[in-house]
Every structure is written in structure tokens, then in C-alpha cells.
Amino acid sequence: MKHNPVSNGFARMMLLMLLFAVTMGSTTSCKSKKRLAREQAAKEYAMKVEQAKKDLNAILNNETNWTLDQKQQRLDTIKSWQLEDEEVKRLISLVEKKIDAERQESLRKAEEERLRKEEEERRKQTTGKYTVLENHFMSIAGAPSIPLANERIAQALQMFASPDVPVLIIISQTGGFNDYDRPTTIRRYLDWLKDQKLSPNRVEQAKYDNNGKITELELIKR
């Protein structure tokens, strides 16, 4: 049986066209997928930029209830995205400075609170330690008569090394430094309590000699 040359040529041509169509379709499909991937990546990048700006501005404007650690974590996350947007970079720099300032302020407040608690505890211990002495002061100020006040002064003086023991009265405390009133002696101070009929100061601290007698007294206004 003889083959028709025209038919064979046509068949080969159709096969080539089909192969070309398949190849072109595959290439087009590949290009389409790459384009979609680029578009998706661009969309995700834009969303990250937008979210970064939103979160960074919220931190700067104090519009969140995030803790300091949560702010730092969010900042670290945004930095890990490595966005090349200039506005985002500017905001990151501002937020870094703000968080650093807030952290320093937090440390300062924590230190102040620690010192306050230490001082409160010390004063509690001091109050108990000097209760007897302060009771003497109150008793002298509240004496109903001069003779009775003088008797109580004599009793109080027995706690001191001499009637001339110096008495310092703190009138203010600033930055760890004390500002004192004019110095006096324990005798003059006890006479003053008798005359004023009030005891406005409490014992801050006292120094003792080897016999347990007070050699210096420091008071502070209540």
C-alpha cells in the first residue's frame, strides 16, 4: 500500500505545531507563576511596611498598652523584616531612642522604690529602737506642771553621757544630704520641749559610748 506524501507531510506539520503549542503553553505558564509569585511577594512586603509604620507610630504616640518588654519585642520583630523603606527606618530609630529612655526611667523609678523601702524599713527598726527615748520627750512636753517636767528631764538625762551632748535636728533631706537646724545640747532641747509643750521631732539616730550612754543625737521633723 502506497503512502500519500502530502498526508504524511501534513501529519508531521500538525505534530510540530502541537509540540510548539505545548512548549509555548508551558513557558507561558511558568512565566505566569513567576509573575504571580513576584506580585504576592510585593503585596506581602507592602503589608509589612504598612504594619510596621502603624505599630511604630503607635509606640511613639503611646497608643498601646504594651509593656516595655512587649514594645522591645515588637521592635525586634520589625527590624528582623529588614525593610528598606526610609520612613520605617526613621521610625525604628525614633522608637529605639524612646524605648531606651523609658527603660532608663523605669530603672530610676525601681531604684527610688528600692531606696524608699530600705528607708521605710530602717525607720521602722529605728522607731522601735528609740521608743523609750521618744517616750521621755513626749512625757516632758506633756507634763502638767514645771516641777514634774523638770523631774522627767532629770530622768531623761540619765540616758546621756552629759547634759552637753550635741543634738542635731534635720530640717530637710535632698539627694542623700541633710540640712540641719542650728545645733543645740540635750539639756537645752529638753528645756525647749518643756516650754513648747510639744515634741515635733522623732529620733533619726543616736551614737553611744562604751557605757551605753548617748554621746550624739540626731532628730528629724515628723
pTM: 0.47
**In-domain check, residue 37:** yes
**One domain, residues 73 and 11:** yes
Mean pLDDT over 56-78 rounds to 95
Statement to judge: residues 90 and 161 lie in one domain: no
Inform me whether the pLDDT recorded for 67 exceeds 90. Answer: yes
Identify the band that residue 221 occupies on the pLDDT scale cut at 50, 70 and 90: confident
Residue 113 maps to a domain:
no
Helices 68-80 and 86-129, packing angle to 10 deg: 160
Average pLDDT over residues 36-58: 91
Question: What would the pLDDT profile of 126-136 be if each residue is shown by its tens digit?
Answer: 667 888 999 99
The residue range of the domain holding 20 is 7-103
Whether residue 118 is contained in a domain is answered as no
Residue 120 within a domain: no
CA distances from 118 to 1, 121, 178, 201 (A): 115, 5, 17, 21
Contact 64, 58 (CB under 8 A): yes
Q: How many domains does the chain have?
A: 2
Same domain, 162 and 213: yes
The answer to whether residue 11 is domain-embedded is yes
**Of 103, 121, 143, the domain-final residue:** 103
pLDDT given at position 63: 94
204 in Cβ contact with 218 (< 8 Å): yes
The number of beta carbons lying within 10 Å of the beta carbon of residue 153 is: 21
Residue, of 128 and 47, whose pLDDT is higher: 47
